[in-house]
């Protein structure tokens, strides 16, 4: 199994510091085509290719753009979420690093479709080394007339801004990200109003992930329907994934939907030392887990097939954990991340993470009682149903899944107090 090259077709083909080099490989041809089309037709093209948001929410992107177009208001805003704070997820970094001009072009096309006047790329603090690359791409695009006023003589005005976060995972959530750009504490807010109506600076806003946006120029030029030749009926095309953990060659790969999990691991060099897989987690720290059984390894990587075994595509991360790490230690490590990144605004997440961290420590020590085990499960369920944002809603996905997949790990019937529910 090898990488496919649709979204990554420009990787290594041009000098990422030169707009001229980018144009020599067809750069900005998609924008020139886009401004001759009606914006709704571009949204329909994305819907036709069944593109779902690549940031984790998996919302129909074509529908999202169509909805955003219909919102009335002046000075609309396009935001690119390049925060990518999900652990084991680093595929957007590769798109920024290897094809920055494509992302800039995609933002301009999105601005045209939505009749927006401004675009913001919100990039995670840890990607500071790529700021000069993107700033250079923005500067050169403006000097060539692709940004600014009357772009390509179409009476379309659009400016692009780069904003760096301060390292908060919660700012990957849309409303927290927006508050961060506004100079406020990066904490989520209640919805409605939805950001498509009142987002950045109370302006109508459309927010997409790096990978989602980066697809658009390629789809506009895909006259031969190459993208649709990949994947399955319901999971069309290709997906950028980042494979990490106990594999020989961690990295980023572009795969056709439908690739078996076993083959994805093989692309990353296989499990270190040929060891047994303890568990697999997809979709980053907020993703669910499964055992490394043959049934799981032979599951095709599609939205529908992963759902059938209680996994998700999510952010595109694939974590392989071998038998040197116990399930309990994995969950403790995962919980440490969420306890650190919780913003503390809502009670279910703030208090839930504290208590579950304590329960996991007791489970490790062998002192967790049956009552506490049941309470831990109840708190996890409450968090998933009543937290203010996606962080709290998904923080216990791995725990709840592990309790189903590895029930023996949570068998505490012989611990103190366990006889209460025997």
Residues 384, 270 within the same domain? no
Mean pLDDT is lowest, of 3-7, 209-213, 221-225, 404-408, for 3-7
| Residue 221 belongs to some domain of the structure | yes
- Domain of 24, CATH number, reads 3.40.50.11540
- pLDDT confidence of 416, banded at 50, 70, 90? low
- pLDDT confidence of 286, banded at 50, 70, 90? very high
- Higher per-residue confidence, 169 vs 415: 169
Domain's final residue, options 322, 355, 370:
322
| Residue 228, pLDDT score | 97
Q: What is the mean pLDDT of the chain?
A: 95
Residues 163, 245 within the same domain? no
| Residue 8 belongs to some domain of the structure | no
- Does residue 422 carry a pLDDT above 60? no
- Does residue 242 carry a pLDDT above 70? yes
pLDDT tens, residue by residue, 107-116: 999 999 999 9
| Residue 419, pLDDT score | 36
Which residue range(s) make up the domain with 152? 19-227
Residues 398, 251 within the same domain? no
Residues 391, 333 within the same domain? yes
Domain's final residue, options 167, 192, 227:
227
- Does residue 418 carry a pLDDT above 50? no
- Does residue 35 carry a pLDDT above 90? yes
Residues 71, 194 within the same domain? yes
Phi-psi bin for 235: left (phi > 0), alpha (psi -120 to 50), beta? beta
Domain's final residue, options 172, 194, 227:
227
- Does residue 420 carry a pLDDT above 50? no
pLDDT tens, residue by residue, 175-216: 999 999 999 999 999 989 999 999 999 999 999 999 999 999
What's the whole-number mean pLDDT along residues 149-171? 95
Report how many domains make up the chain: 3
Q: What share of the chain has pLDDT > 70, as a percent?
A: 97
| Residue 251 belongs to some domain of the structure | yes
Residues 71, 206 within the same domain? yes
What's the whole-number mean pLDDT along residues 112-127? 96
This prediction has a pTM of 0.94
Residues 259, 315 within the same domain? yes
- Does residue 168 carry a pLDDT above 50? yes
């Amino acid at each position: 199994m090898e990488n496919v090259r649709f979204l990554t077709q420009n990787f290594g083909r041009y000098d990422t510091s030169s707009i001229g080099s980018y144009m020599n490989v067809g750069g900005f041809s998609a924008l020139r085509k886009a401004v001759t089309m009606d914006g709704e037709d571009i949204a329909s093209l994305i819907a036709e290719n069944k593109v779902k948001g690549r940031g984790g929410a998996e919302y129909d992107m074509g529908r999202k753009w169509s909805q955003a177009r219909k919102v009335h208001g002046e000075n609309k805003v396009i935001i690119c979420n390049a925060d990518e704070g999900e652990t084991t997820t680093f595929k957007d970094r590769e798109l920024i690093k290897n094809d920055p001009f494509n992302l800039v072009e995609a933002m301009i096309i999105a601005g045209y479709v939505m009749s927006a006047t401004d675009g913001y790329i919100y990039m995670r603090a840890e990607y500071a080394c790529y700021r000069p690359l993107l700033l250079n791409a923005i500067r050169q695009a403006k000097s060539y007339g692709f940004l600014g006023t009357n772009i390509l003589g179409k009476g379309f005005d659009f400016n692009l801004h780069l904003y760096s976060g301060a390292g908060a995972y919660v700012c990957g959530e849309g409303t927290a990200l927006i508050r961060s750009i506004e100079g406020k504490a990066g904490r989520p807010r209640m919805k409605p109003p939805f950001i498509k109506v009142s987002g950045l600076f109370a302006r109508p806003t459309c927010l997409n992930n790096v990978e989602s946006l980066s697809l658009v120029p390629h789809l506009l030029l895909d006259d031969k329907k190459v993208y649709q030749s990949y994947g399955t009926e319901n999971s069309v095309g290709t997906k950028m994934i980042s494979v990490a953990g106990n594999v020989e060659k961690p990295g980023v790969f572009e795969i056709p939907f439908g690739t078996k999990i076993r083959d994805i691991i093989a692309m990353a060099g296989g499990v270190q030392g040929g060891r047994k897989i303890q568990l697999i987690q997809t979709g980053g720290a907020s993703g669910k887990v499964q055992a490394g059984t043959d049934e799981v390894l032979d599951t095709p990587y599609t939205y529908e097939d992963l759902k059938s075994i209680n996994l998700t595509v999510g952010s595109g991360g694939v974590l392989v954990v071998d038998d040197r790490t116990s399930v309990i230690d994995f969950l403790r490590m995962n919980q440490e991340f969420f306890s650190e990144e919780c913003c503390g605004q809502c009670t279910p997440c703030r208090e839930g993470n504290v208590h579950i961290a304590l329960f996991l420590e007791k489970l490790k020590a062998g002192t967790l009682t049956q009552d506490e085990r049941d309470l831990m499960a109840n708190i996890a369920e409450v968090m998933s149903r009543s937290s203010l944002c996606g962080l709290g809603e998904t923080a216990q996905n791995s725990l709840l899944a592990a309790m189903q997949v590895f029930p023996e790990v949570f068998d505490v019937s012989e611990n103190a107090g366990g006889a209460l529910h025997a």
